[in-house]
């Protein structure tokens, strides 16, 4: 399977050892490069904090969405035990 034309991988540094890989179009990559081209270290650090907070919130929102869809699905599935077994008759 080949690469999709027009999509590039952009690595956004979130912390010293953690990078976020963004697979976006060329326009987004160019916009990122333009937005971060003239930032000094302090401003880039602040931008990184904001981006990391957005990333973490997205992970939480995604997990919440999955949990809610799972709970709605479980309401429709009969997943309870059938009950106590019938008692045997004594002769």
Q: Using CA atoms, how far apart are residues 48 and 36, in angstroms rounded to an integer?
A: 11
First-to-last CA distance in the chain?
Answer: 71
For residues 16 and 48, the answer to whether their CB atoms sit within 8 Å is no
91 has pLDDT over 80:
no
Looking at residue 65, its pLDDT comes to: 92
**Is residue 72 helix, strand or coil?**
helix
Domain residue spans of the chain: 7-75
Q: Using CA atoms, how far apart are residues 24 and 30, in angstroms rounded to an integer?
A: 10
67 has pLDDT over 60:
yes
User: For 29-38, how does the pLDDT look when each residue is reduced to its tens digit (9 = 90+)?
Assistant: 888 888 888 8
pTM of the complete model: 0.54
Among residues 14, 2, 27, the alpha carbon closest in space to that of 54 is found at 14
């Amino acid at each position: 399977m080949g690469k999709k034309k027009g999509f590039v991988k952009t690595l956004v540094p979130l912390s010293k050892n953690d990078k976020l890989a963004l697979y976006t179009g060329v326009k987004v990559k160019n916009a990122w490069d333009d937005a971060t081209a003239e930032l000094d270290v302090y401003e880039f650090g602040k931008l990184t904090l904001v981006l990391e907070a957005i990333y973490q919130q997205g992970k939480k929102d995604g997990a919440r969405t999955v949990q809610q869809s799972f709970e709605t699905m479980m309401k429709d599935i009969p997943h309870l035990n059938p009950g106590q077994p019938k008692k045997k008759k004594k002769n």
